[in-house]
Structure formats: C-alpha cells, structure tokens
Structure 1
C-alpha cells in the first residue's frame, strides 16, 4: 500500500476498521505506535508518522501500544498467511 499521510490521518481520526492492519501510526510525543482503530486519543497530525508494518515502526524506534496491540494486527502474523494459502 502506498501510504498517503493525509488519507492515513483521515482513517485514523475516523477509526476506520477497513484500514486495520494496513498501516500503523507512530506518535512522536509518546514514542508509541498504534493501529488506526486504537481507542486512545487521536494525536495531532504534526506528531504522526505512518508506517506500512509494525516492524517498520519498531525499526524507527517506536514501541507497541498496550491498548490496541499493533503487533497482533490482522494479517500480520504468519498464521494469517497460512490460512489464506490453505483455502
């Protein structure tokens, strides 16, 4: 997915479930990265950086949010890929 920051931020503010697992947001002031459906307060746009994977956010120095558990986002685990291959 080509990450358009404005589109990602709109999905984040709407907590749009269609984007869950497609991108992750790192918040500069907290050092935490979240899923777009996280129930935590939405950060200001200028504090957000968007990543296409949880691993990319972690490589950038962010740690996983304890509320939304982004490392467990749908489609991110090897078991998710196996179920698609078997079907």
Structure 2
C-alpha cells in the first residue's frame, strides 16, 4: 500500500486499514489506527509504519483513544 492510499484511509477513518498499518504524528509523538476518531493531523506531520512495534521502535507512544497496540478484535 502506498502512502497516498494510507493517507486516504486515515482521512476516511477507514476500519479496513486497521491491522494493516499505523500512522504516527511527529508533533505529538503518538501513533494511531487509521480509524482513530481523534482530530486528524496535518499530512506533513504524519509518518506511516507497518505495525505498532515499528512505530514504538521509532519513538512513538500508542494513542490512548484507539489503542493501536492491542488487537482490533479486543476493542469495544
């Protein structure tokens, strides 16, 4: 999946992207699922990672709202 497609999934808050990648916001240091209901970041501040482990290895922390470091099926 290319970055334009990933950004499109984030902009639509697409649940189909959950589990396929996470996005991190450089200005906040937080990473999220594509479907996260939080306020959308500016595109220039976003980096994409294949999974939560990669985002954490890059120094980002998980969002408390969408909990991207837990399996999607455990969310209520």
TM-score greater than 0.5 by the shorter chain: yes
Q: Within 5 A, what are the aligned runs for 1:41-80?
A: 41-74=39-72
Larger proportion of helix: 1
Q: Which runs of 5+ in 1 are unaligned?
A: 76-87
Deviation string, structure 1 residues 41-77 (Cα, Å, up to 9, x no partner): 11011000000110000000000000000001338xx
| Aligned-pair Cα RMSD in Å | 1.2
Match of residue 20, structure 1, among 18, 21, 39: 18
Q: Which runs of 4+ in 1 moved over 4 A?
A: none
Shift of 1:21: 1.1
Q: Secondary structure at the match of 1:72?
A: coil
User: TM-score under structure 2 normalisation?
Assistant: 0.90
Q: Within 5 A, what are the aligned runs for 1:24-43?
A: 24-43=22-41
| Paired residue total | 73
